[in-house]
Amino acid sequence: MPRSAPQVAEPLRYERLLQAHDASAPTARHTPVLTSASASESCGGTVAFKAECLQRTGSFKLRGALNKLRTVGDTRRGVVAGSAGNHAQSLAYAARLHQVPCEVFMPIDAAVSKLDAVRAFGAQVHQQGSSVDDCVALARQRASDAGMTFVHPFDDYDVIVGQAGVGIELVDTVADLGCVIVPIGGGGLASGVAAALRQSRPKVKLVGVQAAACSPVAASVRHADSVAPAMPTIADGIAVKHPGKLTLPLIEQLLDDVVTVEENAIAEAMILLLERSKLLVEGAGAVSLAALLSRQVQPARTGTTVAILSGGNVDIALMAAIGARQQTRVGRRTRFFTRVHDQPGGLAGLLATIAAARANVIAVEHVRDGVELALLETGVAVTIETRGAGHLDSVLAELSHAGYEIEATG
């Protein structure tokens, strides 16, 4: 475990990191570090959030894009990149600022909200490829064919130097910094943060987090014999299939550990951040808190543990689906099937019983096909909202006491 200031590559010397951060300061926000009583109580230590979800363009990626365009030289023919969304938005924003053309390649199933945001910044979007890796390859080819400047989302020293600003701000803001948890996709953010902290606060524990559904960096760091095939994940912003050639050695050298988190833990973290901290955070940004909630990472025994919330560009439809699913998991929402008399007042009696138990009806559907029904009987599927698991149990008990046979459906 690295506990003394290591030698870092010349492009990542601390003086250069500071210069890049200062140069980006007029545009990139110094995002807040927010303490969280609820997360601290749940995890058993002092926990705070570095809210990069509040950065311009909605993620830390702006820092790297700004530094790249400032240092790359001639970009008159334009810049091009492949991205799931956050890098695309940031590069489009930076390109507009520098008044240069911008093209981005994004996956076919990219979130509509991210596509719209990239176009709003003036970039030309090509929806091709099924993954970030596919889009990066397409962008490379476009750059070669058109003489444009290719901007890699993570495997580029100029980009990594820009992302290091997150670490520099942590040094400036958190005096008792004990542990930093950082999401890892391609590794640009983790490499930049680690380069900054290892040269300024070498004793701080650094842990990277990946979604278990797509975790090639974790597999490489652990020297796994094989890497599991990438699966769909709600943390799409870090669903990168192959570690970077620059970033993987930096992660292996500078981080203490890399862990993985499951989809349910990511969803739980997203909901907790929204409900308790009023922060809208995408899955890729919430993996840092998910690692704490699922006990994959223990908070520092002394000092503050900071979970970096790397982005907030979440599709609202996805967030709504996650919210509904999470409500069901914790007993605040359920759907059940029962039977009532198929005559006036039959449904009203069922609804009156639910109302008396202080539950809220979300949806009601008559079901007459595909189920066994007696004469003068109809099936009813009801979705209700309750105050929690205990309240749900009492509502179902009241329905059973009133003579309704309840079949849970989800």
Domains of the chain: 10-56+163-324 (3.40.50.1100), 73-150 (3.40.50.1100), 331-408 (3.30.70.260)
Q: Could you read off the pLDDT of 98-131 as tens digits, one per residue?
A: 999 999 999 998 888 889 999 999 999 999 988 8
User: Are 116 and 147 contacting, i.e. CB atoms less than 8 angstroms apart?
Assistant: no
Residue ranges in 255-381 assigned as alpha helix (H) = 263-277, 283-293, 316-329, 346-356
CA dist., res. 218 & res. 235, Å (int): 15
Q: DSSP alpha helices (H): ranges in 304-410?
A: 316-329, 346-356, 389-401
User: Distance (Å, rounded) from C-alpha 277 to C-alpha 355?
Assistant: 31
Question: What are the φ and ψ backbone dihedral angles of 406, each rounded to 5 degrees?
Answer: -105, 130
Listed in sequence order, the residues at least 6 apart from 253 whose beta carbon sits closer than 8 Å to its beta carbon are 2, 6
The model's confidence at residue 223, banded by pLDDT at 50, 70 and 90, is: confident
Mean pLDDT of the chain: 93
**Residue 249: pLDDT above 70?**
yes
Q: Indicate the pTM of the whole model.
A: 0.89
Residue 171: φ, ψ to 5°: -60, -40
Asked if the model's pLDDT at residue 6 lies above 80, the reply is no
Radius of gyration of the chain (CA): 25
Tokens of 260: 């993985």
Residue type for position 48: A
- The amino acid at residue 191 is S
The shares of helix, strand and coil residues in the chain, as percent rounded to the nearest 5, are 45, 20, 35
Which residue, 76, 88, 92, 67, is CA-closest to 146?
76
1 falls in which pLDDT band (50, 70, 90)? very low
Helix ranges restricted to H, 72-102? 86-98
The answer for residues whose C-beta is within 8 angstroms of residue 287's C-beta and 6 or more apart is 183, 209, 210, 211, 235, 238, 261, 266, 269
Number of other residues whose CB lies within 10 A of the CB of residue 87:
32
The amino acid present at 222, given as its one-letter code, is R
Per-residue pLDDT reduced to its tens digit, 124-182: 999 998 888 899 999 999 999 999 999 999 999 999 999 999 999 999 999 999 999 99
